[in-house]
Structure 1
Amino acid sequence: MEYNLNDIVEMKKQHPCKKSNQWQIIRMGADIKIKCLGCGAIIMFSRRDFEKRLKKVIPHAD
Structure 2
Amino acid sequence: MEASEFQLGDIVQMKKPHPCGGNEWEITRVGVDFKIKCLKCGRTVMLPRWEFEKKTKKKLGHKEEESDG
> TM-score by structure 1 length?
0.90
2:16 to 13, 16, 19: 13
Residue 33 of structure 2 is matched in structure 1 by 31
| AA partner of residue 44 (structure 1) | M
Aligned residues: 61
Which has the higher Rg, Structure 1 or Structure 2? Answer: 2
> TM-score by structure 2 length?
0.81
Q: Which consecutive residues of structure 1, in runs of 5 or more, have no partner in the other structure?
A: none
| Runs of 4+ off more than 4 Å | none
Aligned-residue Cα RMSD (Å) equals: 1.7
In 2, Cα distance between the equivalents of 1:58 and 1:3?
11
Aligned-residue sequence identity (percent) comes to 55
In 2, Cα distance between the equivalents of 1:41 and 1:10?
15
